[in-house]
């Protein structure tokens, strides 16, 4: 069985490649930087289609993502554009390409990597959170459209993961809300949860589950979440300082 993982050069993508290979998949990890099996720009829909048609994968994981942290009004236009194109359009492009060949082949599973930011406002990471909200909406809509086919679609929403995306954010106050958990997740744990989701065929899962349930509940009352934001920012900033000391 063939599996494709985007954003595979490091971090969660590399961990996903390892757990899939251990399960017996023939894995093709793709990225725009060296370290992946093939080069693929997920913002290029034609390139995604070409790859899907050539490999005809059984599993396609849309993992590629970038973090845009900062004051929305002050963020460079190029950073905003790249975040939206990679995080949201990349998922849409990959999903459409994979779904087309999977529907032709009569089976397949698309797994999109979202975030706990898919459920709540995230001041300081508003653009990033907007893309993850979009990923959630797109995944649920696509799942409904493919319901009568043998193509499954799932969404995994992890908490903050200690990967290169956050390595350089320990002193970035705008990214404090990414550090509000008791501890950052490690990539192998999230990759294992992704494999569990592929096995179960469930629509949505969060890592960790309890924190996911809390965030989803608070997401239903955004005014309460925003009222808690100053406290959450302080917690996140404290955790950033603690990590900065221990990760030297």
- Could you give the domains of the chain? 2-246 (3.40.50.720)
CB-CB contact of 140 with 146 (8 Å): no
**Lateral strand order in the sheet of 26-31:** 38-39, 26-31, 2-6, 59-62, 108-113, 151-158, 204-207
pLDDT tens for 120-146 read: 989 999 999 999 999 999 999 999 999
pLDDT of the residue at 96:
98
Let me know if 128 is a catalytic residue: yes
Rounded alpha-carbon distances, angstroms, from residue 173 to 69, 75, 78, 92: 9, 14, 21, 30
Question: What does the mean pLDDT of the chain come to?
Answer: 95
**pLDDT of 248 higher than 70:** no
Catalytic residue selected from 25, 60, 128, 225: 128
Integer Cα distance of 22 and 169 in angstroms: 32
Among 171, 144, 185, which residue's Cα sits nearest to residue 240?
171
The predicted-structure confidence for 38-82, as pLDDT tens digits, reads as follows 999 999 999 999 999 999 999 999 999 999 999 999 999 999 999
Span 183-192, pLDDT tens digits: 899 999 999 9
Give the Å distances, CA to CA, from 132 to 53, 54, 84, 106, 208. Answer: 27, 29, 9, 29, 17
Q: pTM (2 decimals)?
A: 0.94
Residue 158 exposure: Cα atoms within 13 Å on the Cβ side? 22
């Amino acid at each position: 069985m063939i599996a494709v993982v985007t954003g595979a050069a490091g971090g969660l993508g590399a961990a996903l490649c390892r757990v899939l290979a251990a399960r017996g998949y023939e894995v093709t990890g793709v990225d725009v930087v060296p370290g992946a099996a093939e080069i693929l720009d997920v913002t290029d829909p034609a390139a995604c289609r070409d790859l899907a048609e050539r490999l005809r994968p059984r599993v396609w994981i849309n993992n590629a993502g970038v973090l845009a942290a900062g004051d929305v009004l002050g963020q460079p236009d190029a950073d905003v554009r790249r975040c939206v194109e990679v995080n949201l359009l990349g998922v849409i492009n990959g999903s459409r390409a994979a779904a087309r060949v999977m529907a032709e082949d009569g089976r397949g599973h698309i797994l999109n990597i979202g975030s706990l930011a898919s459920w709540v406002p995230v001041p300081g990471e508003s653009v990033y959170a907007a893309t993850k909200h979009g990923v959630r909406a797109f995944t649920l809509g696509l799942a409904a459209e493919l319901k009568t086919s043998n193509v499954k679609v799932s969404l995994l929403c992890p908490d903050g993961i200690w990967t290169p995306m956050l390595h350089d954010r320990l002193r970035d106050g705008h990214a404090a809300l990414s550090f509000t958990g008791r501890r950052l997740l490690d990539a192998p744990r999230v990759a294992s949860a992704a494999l569990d989701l592929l096995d179960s065929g469930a629509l949505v899962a969060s890592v960790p589950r309890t924190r996911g349930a809390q965030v989803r509940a608070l997401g239903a009352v955004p005014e309460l979440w925003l009222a808690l934001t100053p406290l959450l920012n302080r917690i996140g900033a404290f955790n950033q300082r603690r990590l900065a000391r221990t990760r030297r």
